[in-house]
Amino acid sequence: MTLQQIYFGYFATMMTIISLLVVSRKNPVHSVLWMLVLFVHMAGLYLFLNAEFLAAVQIIVYAGAIMVLFLFVIMLLNLRKEEKEFRLQKQWPVSAVTAVLFLVVLVSILGKITVLPELGEYSIDMINAQGSLMTIGNVLYTKYLLPFEIASVLLLVAIVGAVVLAKKRIE
Amino acid sequence: MLKYILIPLLPLLSFIINILFGRNYIKNRAHWIAVPAILGSFVLAVSACIEVLNGKVIDINVYSWIVSGSFNVSVGILIDQLTAVMLMVVTSIGSLIFIYSVGYMHGDKGYYRFFAYLSLFIFSMLTLVMANNFLIMYLGWEAVGLCSYFLIGFWFHKKSAGDAGKKAFIVNRFGDFGFGLGVILIFLTFGSLNYMEVFGAAGGIVGQTITLLGYKVDLITLICLLLFCGAMGKSAQFPFHVWLPDAMEGPTPVSALIHAATMVTAGVFMVARCNTLFSYSQTAMNTVAIVGGFTAIFAATIALVQNDIKRVIAYSTVSQLGYMFLALGVGAYSAGVFHLYTHAFFKALLFLGSGSVIHALHHAKQDDEQNMQVMGGLKKHMPITYWVFILATLSITGIPFLSGFFSKDEILWQTFQAGDLGKFLWFLGALAALLTAFYSWRLIYLTFHGEYRGDTECESRIHESPLVITIPLMLLAVGAVAAGWVGIPPVFLEHGDKIGYFLAPVLGHPEGHGTHAQEYFVIASSIFVAIAGWVIAYIMYIKNPGLPEKLFSAFRPVHKVLFNKYYIDEFYDKTIVQPVLKASDKIILAFDVNVIEGVVNGVPSLIGVFSKGLRKIQTGLLSNYAAVMAIGVLCVVGYMFFMR
Amino acid sequence: MVPLNWYIILSAVMFSIGMFGFLSRRNLVIMFICLELMLNAVNVSLVAFSHYLQSINGQILVFFVITVAAAEAAIGLAIIIAYYKNNPTIKVDEINILKG
Amino acid sequence: MENMIMNQLDYPILSWTVFLPLIGIPILLLIRNAKAIRWTTLLMTIITFFVSLPLLCGFDKTTYKMQFVEKSEWIPSWGINYLIGIDGISIFFILLTTLLSILCVLVSWKSVGTKVKEFHIAILAMETGMLGVFVAMDFFLFYLFWEAMLIPMFILIGVFGGENRVYAAVKFFLYTLAGSLLMLVGIVVLYLYGGRTLDIMALSQIQYPIKMQYWLFMAFFAAFAVKVPMFPVHTWLPDAHTEAPTAGSVILAGVLIKMGAYGFLRFSMPMLPDATLFFSGPILVLSIIAIIYGALVCFAQKDFKRLIAYSSVSHMGFVTLGLFALNTQGMEGGILQMVNHGVITGAMFLMIGMIYERTHTRVIADYGGFAKLVPWYAGFFMVLTFASIGLPGTNGFIGEFLIIFGAFKANMILGVFAATGIILGAGYMLTLYQKIFFQDADPDYEFSGKHPVRDLELREVITLLPLFVLIFWIGFYPNTFLEYMHSSVEHLLQQVNQNVYAGGENVFAKYIMEIF
């Protein structure tokens, strides 16, 4: 068992366990905190797949911004008092079966994939030479310029939308 | 040609003028237009008859009416001997009745309307009589039915009058139903509707038969029976007689003109006109004779017990019409038409006489003025009407040397000669003559003899009708007496039967094969019968007035049946009228509403049921939708990777 | 050397856990978190592909996935707050105004 | 183009007649006050009528060919062209439509108070739609006008109608639409089989296989039977009539109903001769049922308009009987009866509208003793009653007699049953007349004394006059109208019976003869 496999095994098991915890916690705050831990592990995995920039983004954006936002909302709505009822909906077995079926189908598909598309020209060492941030920046601002601009517009729309929605209605 | 067209057109013009301008301009000066019009057409009719007398037959096609493929009918006029007789009857009696109704209808609100409808009636009757093809006759036929509808229902505010008018029109429509089909059948067999062509080709189709509902039916008999069905409807013969007594709701001049002299005789005229067709089919002749004979005796029995003066005379009309059809049935067409001619005079006289009686009682404020039980002893108050009535009754009962005797005796004699069926029918006829004598004299004694049974102070106000009423009565009385002298049988005065010879070219002249002895026996028997009826009536109503009551109570059921006219009205009502109304009420409406509406509204409600089912899927729960999406993706992916 | 399949299995497992959470949890906010979890599972597989197929596109796609996730979270939470104002519940099965 | 005679006149008369009312609509949009709207619409309809008049005198009676034909490319790629023309059969319907439209505008002078502009626009659009149907010689154009005509009628009933007008309007719309969609399928089949052309003349030359003819006939039958209201599918008519405003009822009874029968004449018979022969038996039986059923239902009607609606079901039963007797007299009688029915029932609805303006009730029981109150009205209605019964001297008789004659010639039993229709007709019409005009009203009846009902005024008499002139003109001298039809009917019968043309004998009718 090479060092890499042990490294991956740790991360895989930890991420599975944490995601199970995130899903099953009665108290939403605990879920969010476990989610944070999950993000940290994901950042570690990204580093392992030498996507340093993404690891950073993952930590800053996901963990830092989105999870904080969730915490704010949970605190705002002081949800803790509703923990008495049963967490799951009445037809949870159906969704459990669906989820498991999904898993089975996805995994069984792997067996079907026989031919791998040919490798792209961005080999790992070429990225390390430039630094992953540089390469992503080059490609982002040349080939994917339009999606980038659209993404910015999308964010703008989200901001405006969030503000409008959360504003107090003036009747 | 214009001269002949003017005969029917003058009354039409008077109708149009009266109906359009009557309400606000003419009001009760309508007779200034109507009477000259009818007199004008009377004069023209006389001139036409004189032309026909010296042998000229007028047959003109005015313009082609309907042209559709092979079907070609034109409006045309035919004036031959038969039409001449009818023209004389219609226009002469029409004029007298017009003058009479000037007095009778004086002061009535619908005065102009009355004269308008009367003129329209004269126009339609003349069209019917002067037609030269079956379709124009059909036109006249229906138009006459229309006018009788107007005139019977003249006092329309009375519900009974309205109903009677409607009943008359619908029963006539039953007759016209048969007549219309007959006309169509005639065209289909002969290819034309013109009289001359049809009668000319009649011989050719004697043997032909036609399959109808699987049976072989003789064509000529079928045509004659259909035509006769129309005649029965119009002339109120047995199955279709129900409308005539109710038609008495109309004013009396109407009853006189339409339901005595002219319209009801249209059926007789039609059968006489188609004598060539009828003579080819023995079965049709027999049916006509039997129906005629039966109706004569049947109507006479009902007339025995009626109390309404006009209904008695109405039933006597039905009975006399039965006589005419009897004559036609045995082939004595000229005798039938001769009886029609004389009957028109004395029956119109009877009606107008009773009209003047009712008029007088009406002025005397006597309620239920048509009921004979209320009258009595009017001899002192209304001498002229009394004597005129006497003359008319003498004539109708068949007292020798009066018009009724000659025409009725001629019929009985001709029936007698027509084989053993003829003998039986002759016996029926004689019996009917006995009953006729009885009820006619009963009417005289009840109204004019004995004491006044109405309330006494009214009696003082009863007085003779004004001259404008009595003059036409007297003229008609002359007609009632003298009209018969035209057809004195050869046995009294050789070649005396002038009308028979006059009508011969159209109707043919049956050679009598009975011996003189038989003829004398028939004449003697009819005289005996007339006097016997008179004597019985005299005993029952003058000698001991109590007798009728005792007799009626003795035969209580018989009296009830006769009084209610054999319950035929109720029978028709139950078998035809009610089922139609009930069918339309319940079955048809229910069918229409439930079945069709059910289907029509059922489809959308069915769709509604489906949609209600589908709505359950929209639960509103977010996770359900997400689950459905997930399953959807699952299926697609599964199919893509595993099924293909 | 860790083969690519393992990464994909890992992301599939995370994804189905996320899906189970999303489909069966009653609390709306938790459902959003599970949604984020599913997105991150996808990101993992994307990065793994980008790494093994030596093409940078995977990472850029993850970059865009993150922006979309952020926008989506913002709007979703705003909606929850707006809804919470007039109807103080965030139980999913009580929010069924859209019931047909 | 051997069976068409191009337009001889210097101006396209048919296009002008059809689209003149349409030109009126924008003018109406500009006007504001109601009075001006009414006068302009009246003017437009009168001009259309006078534009359509030269059709009569310019018409060549000797040929069966289509006349005044106008043709121009429309959608060349599909072979659809703007092709219009008329022949002996359709000429009277055009004149009837233009005449009735004038009368509709006149009769709703006072009764339509609100939304006057929309009402008159609907009438003008209606007129164009109807005229279009009668002149269209191209299936596409025909179907376009056939559907276009529904919308204004829907508006007329739906907006300006009585109490549950929406139900009636929707029912009318769906009934006709369902039928005409099937027809569309038929048209497409014909288009494809007939060599990608929609020209009706060309399509009627082609001999289609028997089985296909049966299916096509049923498809067309669905559309036309609904319009004619033949027996089972007639329930939309009474509702549509009771709820429609007077103008709507007049147009509905006067022209809309004729399109179904016209459709049979123009499409089903020439194009599908064998199917026509095959189906003529059942259709004859259906028409007999329609006659007797329609008449019987009239006995039990409480509502004035509903009774007249059912009576027109019975009259149209006569028309289909005449048409499918498949001999000259029956056919010509049928077409003439269509014109007659348009005149008589159109006039009757006009009069019902007038009395409704005064009494605001359609229940027969509320009326009584109107002969004293409104004598002129009673007189006019009397003439109509007897025209509708078919009294000789009026136009009803000519039509009915020819039809019964044709039916009798085709098959004796059918003729007898058809003739019973006359008796029933007399029954319910006279009962109606008696209940409304003769009988004395019951005391608590509010019209007798309180506010006197005023008699016909000049405007109303003028509205009725042309129709009454027509009643007596056709009654006394029908040849002026019959002459136009002879050659077209002859040609049509040849087309239908070309394989069994023994004096226009009806094959199926003989078949019935054996059964009975």
d(C-alpha D21, C-alpha B229), whole Å: 53
d(C-alpha B261, C-alpha B345), whole Å: 7
d(C-alpha C42, C-alpha C37), whole Å: 9
Strands laid side by side in the D80-86 sheet: D4-6, D66-75, D80-86
Number of neighbouring beta carbons within 10 Å of residue B552: 15
Tell me the chain C residues in contact with residue B617 when contact means C-beta distances shorter than 8 Å: 100
| Spatial CB neighbours of D379, under 8 Å, sequence gap ≥ 6 | B19
Tell me the chain D residues in contact with residue B583 when contact means C-beta distances shorter than 8 Å: 296
Q: Which two tokens stand for residue D340?
A: 């007659």
User: Residue B623: which of C23, C97, C98 has the nearest Cβ?
Assistant: C23
Alpha helices, DSSP H, located in B330-382: 333-363
Nearest CA in chain B to A110: B641
Looking only at the bridges linking them, the beta strands covering B215-218 and D4-6 are unpaired
Rounded mean pLDDT, D172-188: 90
Does an interface of 3+ CB pairs under 8 Å exist between A and D? no
Instruction: Fill in the DSSP letter of residue D363.
Output: B
Q: Is residue C47 part of a domain?
A: yes
Q: Does A21 touch chain C if contact means CB atoms closer than 8 Å?
A: no
SS3 readout for D135-187: HECEHHHHHHHHHHCHHHHHHHHHHHCCCCHHHHHHHHHHHHHHHHHHHHHHH
**Per-residue burial over D59-89, b = 16 or more CB atoms within 10 Å of its CB, e = otherwise:** beeeebbbbbbbbeeeeeeebbbbbbbbbbb
Q: State the pLDDT at residue A83.
A: 61
Q: Which residues pair with B211 in a beta bridge?
A: B216
d(C-alpha B246, C-alpha B314), whole Å: 9
Does an interface of 3+ CB pairs under 8 Å exist between D and C? no
User: Cβ of C98 and B618 within 8 Å?
Assistant: yes
Residue B60: CA count within 13 A, CB half-sphere: 12
Domain boundaries, chain D: 272-500
Q: Does C93 touch chain B if contact means CB atoms closer than 8 Å?
A: yes
Q: Is residue C20 part of a domain?
A: yes
| Spatial CB neighbours of D332, under 8 Å, sequence gap ≥ 6 | B68, B69, D402, D482, D485, D486, D489
Q: Does D103 touch chain B if contact means CB atoms closer than 8 Å?
A: no
- Say yes or no to pLDDT of D447 above 60: no
Phi, psi of A122 (to 5 degrees): -85, 80
- Interfacial residues of B (vs A; Cβ cutoff 8 Å): 621, 623-624, 627, 630-631, 634, 637-638, 641
Angstrom CA distances, D378 to A145, D375, D500, stand at: 88, 5, 50
Q: Which residues pair with B64 in a beta bridge?
A: B74
- State how far residue A22 is from chain B, nearest Cα, in angstroms: 18
Residue pair D344/D388 in contact by the 8 Å Cβ criterion: yes
| pLDDT 10s digits, A24-47 | 888 888 889 999 999 999 999 998
User: Cβ of A57 and C13 within 8 Å?
Assistant: no
ipTM, two decimals: 0.73
User: Cβ of A136 and C64 within 8 Å?
Assistant: no
| Interface B-C: count of C-beta contacts within 8 A | 32
- State how far residue C45 is from chain B, nearest Cα, in angstroms: 18
Alpha helices, DSSP H, located in B483-555: 498-507, 516-538, 546-554
- State how far residue B597 is from chain C, nearest Cα, in angstroms: 30
Helix (H) or strand (E) holding D71: strand D66-75
Number of neighbouring beta carbons within 10 Å of residue B440: 26
pTM of the model as a whole:
0.80
Q: State the pLDDT at residue D184.
A: 92
Tell me the chain A residues in contact with residue C12 when contact means C-beta distances shorter than 8 Å: 102-103, 106-107
Structural domain boundaries, residue C37: 4-94
Residue pair B336/B365 in contact by the 8 Å Cβ criterion: no
Label residue D203 by pLDDT band (50, 70, 90). Answer: confident
Rounded to a whole number, what is the distance in angstroms from the first to the last CA of chain B? Answer: 99
- State how far residue D477 is from chain B, nearest Cα, in angstroms: 6
d(C-alpha B52, C-alpha B57), whole Å: 6
Nearest CA in chain B to A89: B623
User: Residue B627: which of A95, A108, A112 has the nearest Cβ?
Assistant: A95
Q: State the pLDDT at residue D135.
A: 92
Query: Phi-psi bin for B403: left (phi > 0), alpha (psi -120 to 50), beta?
Result: alpha
Rounded mean pLDDT, A57-69: 89
User: Cβ of A12 and C66 within 8 Å?
Assistant: no
Tell me the chain B residues in contact with residue C97 when contact means C-beta distances shorter than 8 Å: 620
Tell me the chain B residues in contact with residue D329 when contact means C-beta distances shorter than 8 Å: 68-69, 71
User: Residue B634: which of A94, A95, A101 has the nearest Cβ?
Assistant: A101
Nearest to D511 by CA among D425, D413, D420: D413
- State how far residue A98 is from chain B, nearest Cα, in angstroms: 7
Nearest to D290 by CA among D267, D323, D262: D323
Q: State the pLDDT at residue D504.
A: 41
User: Residue C96: which of B616, B617, B620 has the nearest Cβ?
Assistant: B620
Query: Phi-psi bin for B567: left (phi > 0), alpha (psi -120 to 50), beta?
Result: left
Q: Is residue D30 exposed (0-12), middle (13-18) or buried (19+ Cβ within 10 Å)? A: exposed
Residue D276: CA count within 13 A, CB half-sphere: 28
Chains with 3+ CB–CB pairs under 8 A to B are: A, C, D
Taking only residues 15 to 54 of chain C, the set having a beta carbon closer than 8 angstroms to any beta carbon of chain A reads 15-27, 29-30, 32-34, 36-37, 40, 43-44, 47-48, 50-51, 53-54
- State how far residue C56 is from chain B, nearest Cα, in angstroms: 27
Rounded to a whole number, what is the distance in angstroms from the first to the last CA of chain D? Answer: 46
Residue with tokens 């028979």: B500
d(C-alpha D209, C-alpha B280), whole Å: 52
- Say yes or no to pLDDT of D128 above 50: yes
Q: Does C90 touch chain B if contact means CB atoms closer than 8 Å?
A: no
Tell me the chain D residues in contact with residue B153 when contact means C-beta distances shorter than 8 Å: 434, 438
Residue with tokens 């994307």: C46
Q: Is residue C100 part of a domain?
A: no
Residue D273: CA count within 13 A, CB half-sphere: 20
Tell me the chain C residues in contact with residue A35 when contact means C-beta distances shorter than 8 Å: 33, 36-37
- State how far residue B629 is from chain A, nearest Cα, in angstroms: 11
Taking only residues 27 to 66 of chain C, the set having a beta carbon closer than 8 angstroms to any beta carbon of chain B reads 31
| pLDDT 10s digits, B311-333 | 888 899 999 999 899 888 888 88
Q: State the pLDDT at residue D503.
A: 40
Instruction: Fill in the DSSP letter of residue C96.
Output: -
Q: State the pLDDT at residue D308.
A: 92
| Successive 10-residue mean pLDDT values, chain B, 644 residues | 86 89 77 88 90 85 84 88 88 89 83 89 92 90 89 84 87 89 89 87 79 80 90 87 86 84 86 88 89 90 86 89 89 86 88 86 78 80 86 86 83 83 87 89 85 76 81 86 76 70 76 74 87 86 78 80 80 84 79 76 83 79 82 88 76
User: Cβ of A98 and B630 within 8 Å?
Assistant: yes
Least confident span in A112-116, B334-338, C43-47: A112-116
| pLDDT 10s digits, A72-101 | 888 888 766 556 666 777 777 888 888 899
DSSP B7-40: HHHHHHHHHHHHHHHIIIIIGGGTHHHHHHHHHH
Label residue D70 by pLDDT band (50, 70, 90). Answer: confident
State the angle between helix axes of D458-476 and D395-410 in degrees (0 to 180), rounded to the nearest 10.
40
Tell me the chain A residues in contact with residue B621 when contact means C-beta distances shorter than 8 Å: 89
- If one counts the domains in chain C, the total is 1
Residue pair D54/D447 in contact by the 8 Å Cβ criterion: no
- Any idea what the CATH number is for the domain that residue C10 is in? 1.10.287.3510
- State how far residue A29 is from chain C, nearest Cα, in angstroms: 9
User: Cβ of B585 and D478 within 8 Å?
Assistant: no
User: Residue B631: which of A89, A98, A112 has the nearest Cβ?
Assistant: A98
User: Residue B173: which of D413, D422, D434 has the nearest Cβ?
Assistant: D422
User: Residue B177: which of D232, D408, D420 has the nearest Cβ?
Assistant: D420
d(C-alpha D249, C-alpha D103), whole Å: 12
- What structural domains and CATH numbers belong to chain A? 1-84 (1.20.120.1200), 124-171 (no CATH)
Q: What is the SS3 assignment for D9?
A: coil
Rounded mean pLDDT, D476-498: 87
| Spatial CB neighbours of D42, under 8 Å, sequence gap ≥ 6 | D102, D105, D106
| pLDDT 10s digits, A155-168 | 999 999 988 887 77
DSSP B33-95: HHHHHHHHHHHHHHHHHHHHHTTPPEEEEEEEEEEETTEEEEEEEEE-HHHHHHHHHHHHHHH
Q: State the pLDDT at residue B360.
A: 84
Q: Is residue C99 part of a domain?
A: no
User: Cβ of B627 and A101 within 8 Å?
Assistant: no
Taking only residues 57 to 96 of chain C, the set having a beta carbon closer than 8 angstroms to any beta carbon of chain A reads 57, 59-60, 62-64, 66-75, 77-82, 84-85, 90-93
Nearest CA in chain B to C97: B620
Angstrom CA distances, B450 to B354, B446, B453, B544, stand at: 17, 7, 9, 11
- State how far residue C69 is from chain A, nearest Cα, in angstroms: 9
Taking only residues 8 to 67 of chain B, the set having a beta carbon closer than 8 angstroms to any beta carbon of chain D reads 19, 23, 63-67
- Say yes or no to pLDDT of D516 above 50: no
Question: Mean pLDDT for chain D?
Answer: 86
d(C-alpha A43, C-alpha A38), whole Å: 9
DSSP C48-86: HHHHHTT-THHHHHHHHHHHHHHHHHHHHHHHHHHHHHH
User: Cβ of A73 and C14 within 8 Å?
Assistant: no
Rounded mean pLDDT, A2-15: 89
| Spatial CB neighbours of D451, under 8 Å, sequence gap ≥ 6 | none
